[in-house]
Structures are given as C-alpha cells and as structure tokens.
Amino acid sequence: MSERPKLMQVLASEALNPPPLWIMRQAGRYLPEYKETRKQAGSFLDLCFTPELAAEVTLQPIRRFDFDAAILFSDILVVPHVLGQKVAFEEGQGPSLDPIGDDIDRLDLAALEYQLVPIYETVRLVRTSLAPEKALIGFCGAPWTVATYMIAGRGGDDQLPARKLALKNPEKFQQLIDVLVDASASYLIGQIKAGADTVKIFDSWAGVLDEEGFQRWCIRPIKAIAERVRAALPDTPMIAFPRGAGARLKTFAAATGVDAVAIDWMTPMQIARELVPAPTVLQGNLDPLRLAAGGKALDDGVDDILAAMRGRAHIFNLGHGITPDTPIRHVEQLVARVRRGGI
Amino acid sequence: MSERPKLMQVLASEALNPPPLWIMRQAGRYLPEYKETRKQAGSFLDLCFTPELAAEVTLQPIRRFDFDAAILFSDILVVPHVLGQKVAFEEGQGPSLDPIGDDIDRLDLAALEYQLVPIYETVRLVRTSLAPEKALIGFCGAPWTVATYMIAGRGGDDQLPARKLALKNPEKFQQLIDVLVDASASYLIGQIKAGADTVKIFDSWAGVLDEEGFQRWCIRPIKAIAERVRAALPDTPMIAFPRGAGARLKTFAAATGVDAVAIDWMTPMQIARELVPAPTVLQGNLDPLRLAAGGKALDDGVDDILAAMRGRAHIFNLGHGITPDTPIRHVEQLVARVRRGGI
C-alpha cells in the first residue's frame, strides 16, 4: 500500500473513490480540545506564533476524525501583521485592523521572512508528527481578500471600502496588491520549504468584484503568486479558492493555471465540473449548514456531491468553513458518509 | 414615432441601440427631492401607503433623468406587513421585523387585497401621469428573499436563520413559501391590473442557497408565481432578479420561464449572454460603485456592457441598487454615456 497521501494522488489528477476528505476550519471552536489549547495561548495571534501550540491544534482534527489532510493553523491576516499593520482578534467577533487608508508605503517587506520563522517552525513540527499518508496544506489569503481587510479594518458590507479605493485610485491600490503578491509568494515558498505538501490561496471576497476588477485584482495577483511558487518549487501543486466566482470559474481556472480549484457551496459541483475541465482538480462543496443540521440534509448533500463528481479527481470538503455550533457527531456522520464513497 | 415604450419593445426581445435605461432604487436617498417628500410622510411605510406621495417619488427620477421606465416606489417587505407581521424601517438602518419563528399559521392572507388597495392606487396615479413612451414596472420580493427577512427579522450574515430552518424543517418552511407564492402572485396581478406594464421579482438572497435549496426555494416559487401571473394576464412580460445565481443563471432562466433576467454586477454580461440564450432578455449590470466613483471607471464600465450586449435585447441597469452617496452628476454622466449607445 502506497504511503503517498491520497490528497496528493488526487492533486496529480487521479480520481479516487472515496475521495480524500478534509474540512475548512477543521481546527477550531467546534472542538473542545481546541478550546482547551486556545486557553493556554495568550491572544489568537500568540496561538498562531507559538509553534508547539499551533502544531497541536493543527493535528487535533486529524487525531479525532482521521481526515486525509492537516491544514496549518493560522490566519490570512498574519501577512498584514508581519507587514507592520496592527491586527487584533476579539473573542467571538471578526478580526479588526487599524485601517491602512492609502498609506501603503509604511508596509515593510524587509522583516517579513524573519517574522514568519515561528510559522515555518509550526509547519516543520506538524510534518514531523503527521503520518506519511496524510498531507499537510499550507495557505495564505489572496491579495484582494487580504487588501479588503487592510483597507476597511474589518470584514462586512461586501467590502465596500476596498472596492471604492480600487475604482478611485487603481494605481495606489495596485501598489498594495504588488506588496501582497511579493509577501504571499515568499510566505508560501517558505511553508513549502518547511514541509507543506501543497498550498491553498483563499480569495474569500473574490465574488464581490465586477468583471474588470475580477481580472485585475483576483486573477492577475493569484496567477503572479502561482508563477513565482512554481518557478521556485515546480513540483508543489497549488489550490485556489475564488469564493463567489460563479460562472467566472472557467476563466479563473484557465487564467491562473492553479492545479486545483475549491468550489463554494453556491456553485453546484456538476456545473463546476463543466466550467473547469480536467486535468484541473476540484475541491468542495457541501454547504456548512448541512453539516450543522446533520441527519438527512447532511447525507443527501454528501451523496449529491459524490454522484456529481464520479470519475473526476475530487477532494471532498465544505463549500465554506465549518460553523462553531456544529456538533462533533455530525462531523463523524460526514466522515462515515464520504468514506462510504459514491455508489 | 411609436409611443410604445422602448422597455416594452426590448421585453418583446427586440434589440435597441441605445438600450432603454432605468436604475435600481432610482427613487431614493441620493435625490434631494426624495428627501423633501420623505419628510412629509410619517414613517417609511406611511410613504409606501400614501398614494399621492408614493406616486410623487416614483415619478421624480423620470422628471430629472428621463429614464425609460418608472418603478413603483415601495418595498419588498410590504408583503409580510400586510400578512400581519410587524415591520419597521429605521432611518439609516436596514428594516427590522418581529421574527416570525415557525409560527406560519398566524399569517393572514384574507385581508391582503384590501390592504394593498393604496399601492394599487399609487400604480394608477403613476400610470396616469407618466408619458405613454415610458414604462411602469411593478414588483415584489421573491418568496425566498422575503422569507429570509421574516425568519431572521433583518438582513445580514448570509441569511443564516432561514437557511437553517429550511434545512431542519423543510415542510414548515414550504408552508411559508406557499403563503408567499399566493400573496406575491395576487399582488403582482393587482399591480398589473392597476396599470403596471411589466413586473419584476427580486430574489436578492438567491445566491446563498446551495444546489437543492436553489431549485426548491428560488426556482420553484418564482416559476409558480410566473405561471399564475401568466395564466391571469398572458400579455405582461416578467423580469426576475436572482442575485448571486452565477453559473446557475442558465437553469434559472430555462426553468422559471420568465421573459427577462436581471444580472448582478458579479456575472459579466458576456457570460450571462452565453448562459441565457435569446429570446430571453437580459438586464444589467453596472457595478453601483462605478456609478458612485464616476469618471473613467463609470465610462469604461458602461462601454464594456454596451459592447458585450451588442445585437441582443438588453435593458441597461445597475447590477444592484444605487448607493445613497452617489452624486447626481454621476447619474447624468451615466445617462449620457448609455444614450450614446454601443459604438
């Protein structure tokens, strides 16, 4: 039996039945053991930057549910943090940042790699503890999504402040995106060198952009990051998640050239399969609310996705992060149902 | 020269260059004359239910900008209001309702038509004052979108409460949708009989539904309403706006059988055109932030849409409502640019 992780087989465009499985935000508040470890850390950022604790929470869901992949426990706002922007996470609320306005010049790329050392150390620790048949996923936020938080200071309202700045002063906004492309490429390369088997780029707010914006602020920066990572480390497959891309998935997949595209719960996998041809791999896309609801809603959702993806290289996942109110037994139900495979 | 409104010509699938133009929320807070009239009314609902005032604000944007269509000034939450649910609009905030929970039985369809008389009177007044070459659009919210507000009591957070109820208790949720289908069909028929030339069904929260939910709660109820309206008044074209439908526009258009589909700003018109074949008419889809930004961002956005829609029956509009901070002169710029036509 091969020790090559199933996730990596599928990322090489092999169709497996059952498909490998992991879930977005699999380490987090729905797990009692996470809450315990969380208490030991000071702030949320302290947890991200303390390798032993971050590695522990990364591994917890693998121990409990035997998922096929671990994903580095961190946050997409680690990048603005190490670039010198003040970032805070209040318990039970979203993140808050001191909005950067148009003061892009004060961002400092010089100290980036030095400050990211603890995160690379987490990756190393996890890879050492993780069984060889499990994959380790590194990640970063896409430049557009990270920029929306840096400009607004928080999430919400369709990220209006960043959309306004991008339309009113595209040159200034391009400067910010360029800094984030540099930082993100460097960060992903660092994670891969430390032991990540694949990396995922999260563009959670891609969907609010109009046509020109989507080309310029979503596709172009992700393509630039993918090219830099591939130039440095040609054998590492990359996953991207352009949430809300809808019918634009076709252009997105073709133009960015990433190996796998993660699909949100709003685009049916059958349609995604038509929009994004093989060999590109697809990941997704159960509505997290079906997982929270459990029962028949959960089983039906899983079965529909497995049926739609039959014969295609597919990684089972949610279409968005697991919600904190999800009962553990529903996750167990999900794992059992997915592992039954498509029938 | 024909007095038949351009909008009605296009709704019969005729391509016009320049296309007819109106904008979502064209009567509203960005207009000083609206703010004046608003002061004369008591509450926002008083404004909606006072025919002389509602007719006045409906006509204001036509006088100022010579748009090709007026849209009844009202709100999608008028329906829960006349069904007996308490609805309030606070200045500068979204609407708030006493959440209905699962107490569907207390909704009362009996008094619906009686209570809607003032709104039909508004339609009559507007149609009398409006030039014959201008179209009058009636509207309602789609059952799914209206239900999300009725369940949650407000908008936001991807309408989680309604999505949860629909998954946990689909039979109960179906009851609510059935009431709203009845009420909405009756309401649209009433508006058409009073003088509306066409009607639009707004499903602003269609995009948050997963595949099964989209079929059941977005497509099926809109199809049911369209069938009832068509059975009663076969010559009135219908427009539907499934915001966030993305790649599902194809199924939506085919399955509901509406005459025109309004496109949000997140789906490029070129893609919408491929997904939704003629003779279905397309409306849309300038990003409202381009209108708020003005200048080159606005002109480029208009030109791209006109170019993408060349030769196809098209109604120019925004991809979402105009924002209250939009300067009047930007709307003037939009009108001039659209009236220049595709080149």
Chain B neighbors of A209, CB-CB under 8 A: 266
pLDDT mean across residues, chain B: 95
**pLDDT tens digits, A112-160:** 999 999 999 999 999 999 999 999 999 999 999 999 999 999 887 778 9
Q: What pLDDT is stored for residue B51 in this prediction?
A: 98
A310 is catalytic: no
Chain A neighbors of B168, CB-CB under 8 A: 293, 297
pLDDT mean across residues, chain A: 95
**pLDDT tens digits, B233-255:** 999 999 999 999 999 999 999 99
Candidates A38, A154, A216, A228; catalytic one: A38
Q: How many CA atoms lie within 13 A of B63 on its CB side?
A: 12
ipTM of the complex: 0.92
With CA atoms as reference, the chain B residue closest to A294 would be B168
pLDDT band at A342 (very low <50, low <70, confident <90, very high): confident
Written as one letter, the residue type at A200 is K
DSSP string, A86-146: -EEE-TTS-EEE---TT-GGG---TTHHHHHHHHHHHHHHHHHHS-TTSEEEEEEE-HHHH
Chain B neighbors of A272, CB-CB under 8 A: 247
- Is residue A130 within 8 A of residue A200, CB to CB? The reply is no
**Is it the case that residue A70 has pLDDT exceeding 80?**
yes
Task: Note whether A125 contacts B: Cβ–Cβ < 8 A.
Answer: no
How many degrees, rounded to 5, is the angle at CA A69 between CA A68 and CA A72? 165
Q: Which of B151, B173, B249, B266 to mutate to test the interface with A (most CBs of A within 10 A)?
A: B266
pLDDT band at B343 (very low <50, low <70, confident <90, very high): confident
Pair of tokens at residue B227: 């069938």
Chain A neighbors of B247, CB-CB under 8 A: 246-247, 249, 267-268, 271-272, 275
Range from A270-279, B19-28, B83-92, B295-304 carrying the lowest mean pLDDT: B83-92
Alpha-carbon gap: A337 to the closest alpha carbon of chain B (Å) = 18
Q: Does the beta-carbon distance from B212 to A304 stay under 8 Å? A: yes
Q: Report the pLDDT averaged over residues A221-241.
A: 98
* CA pair distance B89, A83, nearest whole angstrom: 42
The pTM of the full predicted model, rounded to 2 decimals, is: 0.95
Indicate the length of chain A as a whole number: 343
Return the CATH number of the domain spanning residue range A19-278: 3.20.20.210
Return the CATH number of the domain spanning residue range B6-340: 3.20.20.210
A304 is catalytic: no
Q: By C-alpha distance, which of B164, B134, B162 is closest to B65?
A: B134
* CA pair distance A55, A77, nearest whole angstrom: 18
Task: Note whether A155 contacts B: Cβ–Cβ < 8 A.
Answer: no
Q: Does the beta-carbon distance from A287 to B249 stay under 8 Å? A: no
Q: What pLDDT is stored for residue B288 in this prediction?
A: 97
From B163, B167, B268, residue closest to A211, measured CB to CB:
B268
From B167, B209, B267, residue closest to A246, measured CB to CB:
B267
* CA pair distance A125, A55, nearest whole angstrom: 6
Q: By C-alpha distance, which of B68, B74, B30, B32 is closest to B53?
A: B74
Cβ contacts of B316 within 8 Å, gap of 6 or more: B18, B19, B20, B21, B22, B283, B284, B286, B302, B305, B306, B338
Catalytic center residues of B: 25, 29, 38, 75, 149
* CA pair distance B82, B78, nearest whole angstrom: 6
Candidates A25, A163, A243, A337; catalytic one: A25
Task: Note whether B211 contacts A: Cβ–Cβ < 8 A.
Answer: yes
Q: Does the beta-carbon distance from B271 to A247 stay under 8 Å? A: yes
For chain B, the helix, strand and coil percentages under 3-state DSSP, each to the nearest 5: 55, 10, 35
Cβ contacts of A171 within 8 Å, gap of 6 or more: none
Pair of tokens at residue B299: 């002109």
Task: Note whether A299 contacts B: Cβ–Cβ < 8 A.
Answer: no
From A167, A266, A293, residue closest to B293, measured CB to CB:
A167
Does B99 sit behind a cis peptide bond, omega within 30 degrees of 0 on the bond before it?
no
Q: Does the beta-carbon distance from A272 to B247 stay under 8 Å? A: yes
Candidates A34, A120, A149, A187; catalytic one: A149
Chain B neighbors of A301, CB-CB under 8 A: 210, 212
Chain B neighbors of A163, CB-CB under 8 A: 287, 289
Q: By C-alpha distance, which of B256, B167, B165 is closest to B210?
A: B167
A340 is catalytic: no
Q: Where are the domains of chain B?
A: 6-340
* CA pair distance A67, A62, nearest whole angstrom: 5
* CA pair distance B55, B48, nearest whole angstrom: 9
- Is residue A305 within 8 A of residue A284, CB to CB? The reply is yes
**pLDDT tens digits, A177-191:** 999 999 999 999 999
Quote the strand ranges of chain A, DSSP E: 69-71, 87-89, 95-97, 135-141, 198-203, 238-242, 260-262, 281-286, 314-318
**pLDDT tens digits, B46-104:** 999 999 999 999 999 999 999 999 999 999 999 999 999 999 988 777 899 998 877 88
Candidates A29, A124, A228, A230; catalytic one: A29
